[in-house]
Structure 1
Amino acid sequence: MARRLSTGINVLDRELEGGLPAGSIVLLTAEPASQSELFLYELTAARPTLYLTTVRSDQAVIDGIERTNTRTGDPNVRDVGGDAPLDQANRLIGTLPEGATLIIDVVDSLERYDRARFRRFLNELQTVMVNTGGLAILHGLNGVDVPDNRDVTAHVADVVFDLRTTITNAEIENRLVVPKFRGGKALAEPIKLRLAESVNIDTSRDIA
């Protein structure tokens, strides 16, 4: 079995039998109004992290991390959302050290490039991650305007996390579905999560 790396989220590591295979690309999809950012912040705790933001400013991300009460690291946050975001991301990814975590939040703007160019970016990213033995987390939004290349991202990704948020009159329910897991086994059932100050398993009983 491939060497596992901690995600930085203890409850998730337990469900994944120790974490994620080193060198993996992970696609985390979620609705824009979900608490998926809490996931990203906790993912910075396990190892040195390069955090590329394409929508919010780098200072907005840093402020968000500092305001959270959960366990985080001290990521190198860079704003690549200006001109030529794919080129900027490529240049910074080439500087990743051994065993680091890369977060791209969000990947949508890169997915809007020409398919051949985006495919080349993903294949080069895969080579970098295998060579450095780290983890790449691509955060994709499941909003009203999902990029056409999202299918390409999901196909190339080694692991797919799909965070599904349901809002009712009684509660906000978050379930993490893991339909794809190269180097391990996909989870047979969704994980019900409580996303408040940190990521935790929701142990409340479902009411039919």
Structure 2
Amino acid sequence: MERLPTGISVLDRELDGGLPAGSVVVLKAEPASQSELFLNTFTHVRETLYLTTVRSPDAVDDALERSAVRTGDPTIEGVDGDAPLKQTLDRAASVPRDGTLIVDSVEPLEASDPVRYRSFLDDLRSRVDEANAIGVIHALKRGTASANRVATEQIADVVFDLRTTVTGTEIANRLAVPKFRGGAALEEPVKLKLTDTVSVDTSRDIA
């Protein structure tokens, strides 16, 4: 099965070269985490369509310009108004062949009717698969998971769970991959250093 690299070397090594083409990935993270670094890095590897549901396209473009990670030149489009599911699908129809589709973030879409939302997820997955692309859904963690958040994770082929903990003066970031269709999920979380880039944290935990 063809693998498409993520652009994050430690992940590509752990995942045997990257993600299976046609996969939908859910990136779960705390709102105050550095998860946007992952999205920025993903834009560098392949032609990217970046759909933003909360920030304006100008704000996303400015963040990419200021990012210390190597970024590409994605097409950035906003999703707003009264029909966000339809807008997202309409825009996703132009996902680049062998490219990347980013939906940042999914919360406004998850506020939709559950039946319509599940149909939307099926259609979004089909668009990604037809383009032989990678779809990345940025899903911010909140309290109890809603029925639509459960559906988001169920439709995903891969789940990246970024776990950020703050203890005293230390901020620790670990990326777990509990779900991976078409490959093996990681047995242990990868400890990462998220500053202005994504890198391996080589410091040792002290018991």
TM class, shorter-length: over 0.9
Report the Cα distance in structure 1 between the residues aligned to 2:156 and 2:27, rounded to whole angstroms. Answer: 10
What TM-score do the two structures reach when normalised by structure 1? Answer: 0.96
Residue in structure 1 matched with residue 60 of structure 2 by the alignment? 61
Runs of at least 5 residues in structure 2 that lack an aligned partner in the other structure: none
What CA deviation, in whole Å up to 9, does each residue of 1:181-208 have, x standing for no partner? Answer: 0000000000000001211110100011
Residue 69 of structure 1 aligns with an amino acid whose one-letter code is A
User: C-alpha root-mean-square deviation of aligned residues, in Å?
Assistant: 1.1
Residue deviations 1:151-177 (CA, integer Å, cap 9, x gap):
001111000000010011121100001
Q: Percent identity?
A: 56
Alignment-derived partner of residue 132 in structure 2 = 133
Structure 1 CA distance, aligned partners of 2:114 and 2:127? Answer: 20
Deviations 1:38-66 (CA, angstroms, capped at 9, x unpaired): 11000101101010111111111111111
- Aligned residue in 1 for 2:169: 170
Aligned partners of 1:108 and 1:146 also within 8 Å: no
Which residue identity lines up with residue 29 of structure 2 in the other structure? A
Q: Which stretch has the larger CA shift, 138-147 or 86-95?
A: 138-147
Aligned residues: 207
> Who is 1:49 aligned against?
48
SS in 1 for 2:178: strand
Q: What is residue 23 of structure 2 aligned with on the other side? A: 24
Query: What is the one-letter code of the residue matched to 2:19?
Result: L
Contact 1:112 1:147 in 2 (8 A): no
Could you list the per-position Cα deviations for residues 112-139 of structure 1 after superposition, in whole angstroms to 9, with x for gaps in the alignment? 1111111111111121112110000000
Q: Which amino acid aligns with 2:161?
A: D
Instruction: Decide whether the 8 Å contact of 2:54 with 2:105 is kept in 1.
Output: yes
Give the CA deviation at 1:96: 1.7
Counterpart amino acid of residue 43 in structure 1: F
1:39 match = 38
Distance (whole Å) between structure 1 residues aligned to residue 171 and residue 81 of structure 2: 34
